[in-house]
Chains A and B, each alone.
Chain A
Amino acid sequence: MLASIDTCFLIDWSRYRNRFLLTRLFDRLLVSEHVLSEAESEGALSFITEMIGDGLMYLVPTTSEEDRIVHRLVMLSLNDSRIPEIHETEAYTVAIALSYNAVVLTENKAVLWLKVYHPEVISVPVWRSIDVLVEAVIRGLISINDRDDFIRVLNNFTEDTHHLFSEVDIERALRRLRL
Chain B
Amino acid sequence: MKDWAGQLTPEDLEYLEEWGRRVRREMADWDFIKRLPRRLREALTYLVETGDLRQASMRYGINICMLDELRIKAKIPLTL
A162, B12: Cβ atoms under 8 Å? no
CA distance A112 to B7 in the complex (A): 11
Query: How distant is B59 from chain A, measured CB to nearest CB, in Å?
Result: 10
CA distance A44 to B16 in the complex (A): 26
CA distance A38 to B13 in the complex (A): 27
Interface residues in B13-55 by Cβ distance below 8 A to A read 13, 15-16, 19-20, 23, 50-55
A103 within 8 A of B: yes
CA distance A121 to B47 in the complex (A): 27
CA distance A158 to B64 in the complex (A): 19
A125, B6: Cβ atoms under 8 Å? yes
B80, A116: Cβ atoms under 8 Å? no
A109, B2: Cβ atoms under 8 Å? no
A112, B13: Cβ atoms under 8 Å? yes
A38, B63: Cβ atoms under 8 Å? yes
Which residues of B have CB within 8 Å of A124?
1, 3
Query: What is the number of residues of chain B that contact chain A, defined by CB distance less than 8 Å?
Result: 37
A128, B5: Cβ atoms under 8 Å? yes
A27 within 8 A of B: no
Number of A-B contacts (CB under 8 A): 111
B5, A40: Cβ atoms under 8 Å? no
CA distance A11 to B10 in the complex (A): 27
Which residues of A have CB within 8 Å of B63?
38, 40
Q: List 28 A-B contacts (CB under 8 A).
A: A8-B53, A8-B64, A11-B64, A12-B68, A84-B52, A103-B1, A109-B50, A112-B5, A112-B80, A113-B13, A124-B1, A125-B1, A125-B5, A126-B3, A128-B4, A128-B5, A128-B80, A131-B2, A131-B5, A135-B2, A161-B78, A162-B75, A162-B76, A162-B77, A162-B78, A166-B15, A166-B16, A166-B19
Interface residues of A (CB under 8 A from B): 1, 7-8, 11-12, 38-41, 44, 82, 84-85, 87, 89-90, 103, 107-110, 112-113, 115-117, 119, 124-128, 131, 134-135, 158, 161-164, 166, 168
Using A39-B65, A117-B10, A163-B77 as known contacts, list a sample of 11 further A-B pairs with CB atoms less than 8 Å apart, ordered by residue number in A: A38-B63, A41-B66, A89-B54, A108-B80, A109-B55, A124-B3, A125-B6, A134-B4, A135-B2, A161-B78, A162-B72
